[in-house]
Amino acid sequence: MSDTQGNADDVRQFTVGKDDDGVRLDRWFKRNLPAVGFATVSRWARTGQLRVDGKRADVDTRLEKGQVLRVPPGGSAPAGIKGTRPKKPLTEDQIALAESMILTQDRAAIVLNKPPGLATQGGSGTHEHVDGLLDAYADEKGPRPRLVHRLDKDTSGVLLIARTPGSAAFFSKRFSGRSARKIYWALITGVPDIKDGLIELPLAKQPGTGGEKMMVDESEHGQSARTRYRVIGRAGNAACWVELQPLTGRTHQLRVHMAAIGHPIVGDGKYGGQAAFLTGSISRKMHLHARRLRIEHPEGDLLDVTAPLPEHFAASMAQLGFDEADGELPLEPVKLIPDKVIEKRAAKAHAKEYRKERRGERRKRIDAPPSGRAAPKPRAGVKKGPGSKAPTGTALARASAGRASAERNAAERSANGGKPVRRAPAAGKSAGSKPKAPTGGAPRRSPRG
CB 227 within 8 A of CB 198: yes
Task: Single out the residue of 225, 178, 160, 223 nearest to residue 342, CA to CA.
Answer: 178
Q: 400: part of which helix (H) or strand (E)?
A: helix 393-415
Measured N-to-C along each axis, helices 339-367 and 165-176 cross at an angle, to the nearest 10 degrees, of: 80
How far is Cα 415 from Cα 7, in angstroms, rounded to an integer? 84
Helix (H/G/I), strand (E/B), else coil: 311: helix
Phi, psi at 324, each rounded to 5°: -60, -30
- Give the separation between CA 181 and CA 306, rounded to whole angstroms: 12
The answer to whether 240 touches 233, Cβ cutoff 8 Å, is yes
Return the sign of the alpha-carbon dihedral for residues 27, 31, 32, 38: positive
Q: Are 324 and 309 in contact (CB under 8 A)?
A: yes
286 closest CA partner among 181, 189, 182? 189
Residues annotated catalytic, as ranges: 152
Judged by DSSP in three states, 106 sits in: coil
- Report how far residue 97's alpha carbon sits from residue 214's, in angstroms, rounded to the nearest whole number: 31
Residue type present at position 274: Q
Residue 143 gets which letter from DSSP? Answer: P
